Amino acid sequence: MRILIVFAVSLLAFCEITLSLPRFALKEKSSCIDCHVNPTGGIIRNRGGWSYSKNMISMISPREDFKMNNKIGENIQFGFDARGQYLLQMTDSTKKTDFQKMNASLYTNVDLSDNISFVARYDFLQNIWEGYGIIHIIPEIVYLKGGTFSPNFGVRLDDHTAYTRGGDFGLLFTSGIKQGLIYNPMYTESGIEAGLNINDLLFLTTSVGNQGSALFAEDPSFTANLKVTPQLNDEVGLFLGGSFGIYRDRRSTGAPLFKQISPQVQMYGGYLGIGYSGFTLIAEFDFANEYLAKDVKSAFSMVEASYAIIKGLDAVIRWDRFDPNTKSDNSDLNRYIIGFEFFPYSFIEIRPQYRIQSEKPSVTNNSALIQFHIWY
């Protein structure tokens, strides 16, 4: 158990290349589309988001001393992410350290007109591909997206090891027991997504797609997300919302028949975020029916708090919880993360973390890491 958990921790930040940081939107009292080409956030930044990354996050920014941009011509933008980390593994008898390469992605956006764009991303280490077109049918109000993408469920946190995202990816599938929702770094769907934005107050997205590679093999999945962003005042940022998802899960009934079944899994939950001055708090609580077994309900939770100590240095703590069966006692897993996010220079991040794992029976399986991240 402890070895598998450490292995899962070593896969930290697989998905950070594709996702945005929701707390930055809270700090600035803005939304994902203000900084990203993709209306639901992630991958390539628009001109405003790129300038924000360059000038507003880090301790030191080149500004006019070294001119740069992310454009090739007038209608093509590019970007990249490279990430690695140094790990410390702790068990009852040993402590081990090692280095890990995690991702190396290139992405681009091509504007075909004022209201039509094509976005693409490829990760050379993990062989992850996303590519889709976006047409703004009514600019800033209604859009349609089609292609291969990650559906918009819950808070798209930048750390996939949160149980509300993909959980301890690697640990779960080798043991045969999933301990997070389906939104691991590899998860994409081929389909369409429609979005409606009303006065920057209400943002509704719905999508339908094929989560596998085989055609006509199963019912399409469905995802909906409603986010409300009340404008309280100039000092407080707030959002709250809920998500719903349905898909068919292929699995075996196990011994003695080992029959292949495709139960319908239902996922649903709510989330909220609040930001004031340099403080942000984000929470999400989800449930899934039939996710692990017939007539079993599982629960997933995440609460993250951050505080901007100075420009370029944030303290971040997070609590994750997974309960595989809400009717069973003492089956839940809890994890506590304490760390910092340090941006010394534009497009450079250093992220130290200490992770405390709690389960019953208790074992020694805590971990520490220092993550290095360069993006553009």
Domain count, the chain: 1
Spell out the alpha helix ranges (H) of 118-275. Answer: 171-175
Partnered with residue 278 across adjacent β-strands are none
Q: Are 19 and 157 in contact (CB under 8 A)?
A: yes
Q: To the nearest whole percent, how much of the chain has pLDDT over 90?
A: 55
Q: Identify the band that residue 365 occupies on the pLDDT scale cut at 50, 70 and 90.
A: confident
Six-digit token string for 131: 């590519």
Q: What is the mean pLDDT of residues 226-244?
A: 93
Q: What is the mean pLDDT of residues 97-113?
A: 91
Q: What is the mean pLDDT of residues 37-61?
A: 89
Q: Check whether 92 has a pLDDT greater than 80.
A: no
SS3 category, 147: strand
| Domain carrying residue 238 | 2-375
pLDDT score, position 317? 98
Length of the chain (residues)? 376
Q: What is the mean pLDDT of residues 343-363?
A: 89
**CATH number where 31 lies:** 2.40.160.10
Q: What is the mean pLDDT of residues 47-59?
A: 89
Sign of torsion over alpha carbons 188, 227, 302, 45: positive
Q: Which residues does 139 contact at the CB level (< 8 Å), separation at least 6?
A: 114, 115
Q: What is the spatial distance between Cα 159 and Cα 164, in angstroms, rounded to a whole number? A: 10
Q: Are 277 and 270 in contact (CB under 8 A)?
A: no
Q: To the nearest whole percent, how much of the chain has pLDDT over 70?
A: 90
Q: Check whether 175 has a pLDDT greater than 60.
A: no
Six-digit token string for 140: 């800033």
| pLDDT tens figures, 190-227 | 999 999 999 889 999 999 999 877 677 778 999 999 99
- 4's torsion region: left (phi>0), alpha (psi -120 to 50) or beta? alpha
Spell out the alpha helix ranges (H) of the chain. Answer: 2-9, 22-28, 47-55, 171-175
Q: Between 357 and 315, whose confidence is greater?
A: 315
Q: What is the pTM of this model?
A: 0.87
pLDDT score, position 191? 97
Q: Identify the band that residue 171 occupies on the pLDDT scale cut at 50, 70 and 90.
A: very low
Q: Identify the band that residue 253 occupies on the pLDDT scale cut at 50, 70 and 90.
A: low
